[in-house]
Amino acid sequence: MKFIDEAIIQIHAGKGGDGVASFRREKYVPRGGPDGGDGGRGGSIWAVADRNINTLIDYRYARIHRAAHGQRGQGGNCYGRGGEDVVLRVPVGTVITDRVTSELVADLKRHEQKALLAKGGSGGLGNSHFKSSTNRAPRQFTRGEPGEERELRLELKILADVGLLGMPNAGKSTFIRAVSAARPKVADYPFTTLHPQLGTVRIDHSRSFVIADIPGLVEGAAEGAGLGHQFLRHLARTRLLLHLVDIAPLDEHADPVREAKAIVRELRKFDPALQRKPRWLVINKIDLLPPEIREARWQQFVRDLGWRGKTFIISALTGEGCRELCLAVAGELERRAQRARADAEEQG
């Protein structure tokens, strides 16, 4: 299935049914009085998060969604039937905003989480509501109210614990294949990854985490160059970023230090909060270097980059260092979860 992570839709909630002016007509009841019923409410439109859906493709082609109108009231104090609601099922992680006002309408992070997108109109009042001691035969009734109408933007932000960053051909797809059951395309040319990939890394029977691979970034991505800028939003919910660097590029003119710095600049341009996320440096493809120069090469790279954070040396192709990296990631995520629970207990 084609991966779609953004869609624009129009929604129209149902109009409420009109009230009615009616009078009781029965044998031996010459002055039965008003008995007009109310109109039914219009149908509303809801969004529900569904973990069994992983794309917004349905809303790329079905852009207009309408709920049913409420029925008109009837005599005998019979209310009109309410319009049926419309439920839009979307992937977990979908953010819904009003396209006109940019107002956040819903952020659906949990399975079966429900949000009201457009409320149906209230039904009109029948004439039985207007009777009084001085107005025993009212002919007034009210019309049903219109339902809400909106134009919405749906954006899918993948829920993952760890996000992979790097230039095209940095080895991100090879790494996610090495540590999880995900099978993204791997080739010896750039931009083999055209849409985000998710993989579950299982440490043991009780510990695992989800890792997300997005298309490689290039310099100028924040202004629209390349493909990765379209998917940077998927890293917004991650708790840790792994910055993969190709330490042995095939292009002799490539400069890994300059490319690594370019990635950081693009993160800052796209979203400063994303640039401030915890980030570890992962130096990849050490299998392409002779053993006697590996340590000197990566240490020189770290010095030139001015990096003072955590650094891991791996070969995604051979698996060297991957297990140690995954264990460190799992431990970090567990520590962060424990701190979050402790903070919640203190606040609670």
The verdict on residue 57 lying in a domain is yes
pLDDT of res. 327: 93
Residues 217 and 239 in one domain: yes
Domain boundary among 93, 123, 156: 156
pLDDT of res. 185: 54
- Given pLDDT bands bounded at 50, 70 and 90, which one contains residue 229? low
The verdict on residue 1 lying in a domain is no
Residues 141 and 230 in one domain: no
Q: What's the predicted TM-score (pTM) here?
A: 0.70
Amino acid identity of 279?
R
Residues 146 and 172 in one domain: no
Q: Is residue 265 classed as helix, strand or coil in its secondary structure?
A: helix
- Given pLDDT bands bounded at 50, 70 and 90, which one contains residue 221? very low
Return the beta strands (E) in the chain as ranges: 6-12, 45-50, 64-66, 86-91, 94-98, 104-108, 114-118, 149-156, 162-165, 197-202, 208-213, 240-246, 279-284, 311-313
Q: Is the pLDDT reported for residue 280 higher than 70?
A: yes
Domain boundary among 91, 122, 156: 156
Q: Mention every residue, 6+ apart, whose C-beta is less than 8 A from residue 22.
A: 34, 35, 36, 37, 74, 75, 76, 126, 127
Q: What is the DSSP string of 51-117?
A: TT----HHHHH--EEEPPPPPPPBTTTBPPPPPPPEEEEEETTEEEEETTT--EEEEE-STT-EEEE
Residues 280 and 187 in one domain: yes
Tell me which residue has tokens 């992570």: 5
Amino acid identity of 316?
A
Give the dihedral of Cα atoms 119, 46, 232, 317; nearest 10 deg: 180
1-22 residue pLDDT tens: 345 678 999 999 999 999 999 9
Residues 53 and 171 in one domain: no
46-76 residue pLDDT tens: 999 998 887 888 898 899 999 999 999 999 9
Q: Which residue has the higher pLDDT, 49 or 226?
A: 49
Domain, as residue range, for 29: 6-156
CA distance 317 to 188: 12
Residues 303 and 214 in one domain: yes
114-167 residue pLDDT tens: 999 999 999 999 999 999 988 988 999 999 999 999 999 998 887 788 988 888
pLDDT of res. 95: 92
The verdict on residue 89 lying in a domain is yes
Count of the separate structural domains present in the chain: 2
Domain boundary among 104, 124, 156: 156
The verdict on residue 93 lying in a domain is yes
